[in-house]
Amino acid sequence: MMKTVILLTLLLIAQTASANIAGTGKIYLPLIANNTTASASYVLLGWNDLGMHCYNRDFKDLAVLPPYNTLWVQVVRRGDPPQIVTQGINVSYSFPANTFSVGKSNFWDYDQLLFGVDLAPNVGLTGKGLAGDMDRKSDHFLAEGIPLTEYDDSDWNNRQPFQLAEIVARDSNGVELARNTVVAPVSTEMRCDKCHADGMRDGIATGRVETNILTLHDREESGDYPAGHTTPLMQRRPVLCAECHSSNALGKPGVTGLPSLSNAMHTRHAEVIPNTTDGCYSCHPGPSTQCLRDVMSQQHGMQCVDCHGSMQQVAQSTNPWLKEPRCDNCHKDAKYAQNNALYRFSTGHGGLYCESCHDSTHAIAPSSQPRDAVKFINLQGHSGTLDTCTVCHLTHPTSGGPHQ
């Protein structure tokens, strides 16, 4: 198994090592094909905004989250000094091994009932498909809400939660300037079945985990359902939890007076879930996915609760999704300060996003997942934080640096 992963990774590196490795002299150089040279003048930095996107395996009965991945890109023109460019170029993305989602997910059978929109096949809630152009923003390119599943075209039975996007920047004449291969992490691994399978709660046994949960919810809460939402959940499937429980992940306000979905879920389960990474993996992906793969968990033994606190503390968040741990809570030296409340929106060195050099939350380089390393190897010949000055600077600067 391990051997397959390594082979696959090498193959991918060979296929995608698109230059940008100037000055590293690493062995990948001779493998590089066409379109790039050691003096490539553009580099493409790309990442997924979150460390993992979770969506429901089946939307027939209920939905916590839809398929919805978001990719970011910054393109840098190499030079002295380097320059972040957005004008005069176009950036497109695709998933060569994962070109469609209909059939791998039944989301498109329930989009109208859950979200009130009838989406074209393989198109997501913001209009993005599995391939297309990214949108130009002030200092980056963005593809928000890609309806990605965790299944390769060649295998609908085994999850591959670390899907690979191929991202290409071209000039206005369509000439390729730079490309890279970037992980879009996605998983359906919510283990509600561990405790909500038939017969486990209140003698409820409907034959499906989802309907067991809805039945339990109706027993506990049906008398409290707010005006306009009083039909028992079992009688109006599929149910979007965020219809009543606000979710900032979906931008849904919920019903005033009811707890947010994060608050409801973490409060209700606080007594039954141990405050360990395995405990959090009961609902977050998960024992098999291992979404927490960053250097701090792998090399310094950190667990979810070291950064997020206990179930009870997560439950008390006044602004779920938007109020999160900060790097500078712990890395207190001013040179590591965030300039936004959220890590994913913070920038450092020359206007580069922290995630462009360190990667996504929960994947802070070096990650334990070999696919996360591909883009860094493409850029600088080795894995780990983007730390090679000459990836962007033509001449090695004699002073300064990302945190000087």
Other CB atoms within 10 Å distance of the CB of residue 28: 18
Amino acid occupying residue 32: I
Half-sphere exposure for 268 (CA within 13 Å, toward CB) = 12
Half-sphere exposure for 172 (CA within 13 Å, toward CB) = 3
Per CB under 6 A, contacts with ligand HEC among 180-219 are 190-192, 194-196, 201-202, 213, 216-217
Q: Of 2-10, 20-28, 130-138, 393-401, which segment contacts ligand HEC by CB under 6 A?
A: 393-401
Closer to ligand HEC by CB, 97 or 234: give it: 234
Q: Is 397 in the site for ligand HEC (CB under 6 A)?
A: yes
Give the tokens for residue 393.
């600077």
Instruction: Write down the least CB distance from residue 226 to ligand HEC, Å.
Output: 6
Half-sphere exposure for 200 (CA within 13 Å, toward CB) = 14
* Overall residue count recorded for the chain in this entry: 404
Closer to ligand HEC by CB, 102 or 142: give it: 142
- Applying CB under 6 A, among 128, 266, 293, 375 the residue interacting with ligand HEC is 266
Start-to-end Cα distance in the chain: 42
Per CB under 6 A, contacts with ligand HEC among 320-359 are 320-321, 324-325, 327, 329-331, 336, 338, 342-344, 346, 348-350, 352, 354, 356-358
Q: Is 302 in the site for ligand HEC (CB under 6 A)?
A: yes
Alpha-carbon torsion, ordered 36, 37, 42, 43, to 10 deg: 80
Q: Is 241 in the site for ligand HEC (CB under 6 A)?
A: yes
Per CB under 6 A, contacts with ligand HEC among 8-67 are 50-51, 62, 64-65
- Applying CB under 6 A, among 362, 372, 373, 374 the residue interacting with ligand HEC is 362
Q: Is 225 in the site for ligand HEC (CB under 6 A)?
A: yes
Q: Of 7-15, 74-82, 101-109, 169-177, which segment contacts ligand HEC by CB under 6 A?
A: 74-82
Closer to ligand HEC by CB, 33 or 330: give it: 330
Instruction: Write down the least CB distance from residue 94 to ligand HEC, Å.
Output: 23
Q: Are 59 and 80 in contact (CB under 8 A)?
A: no
Long-range residue pairs from 297-304, CB within 8 A, at least 24 positions apart, any chain: 297/368, 298/366, 298/367, 298/368, 303/276, 303/277, 304/276, 304/277, 304/280
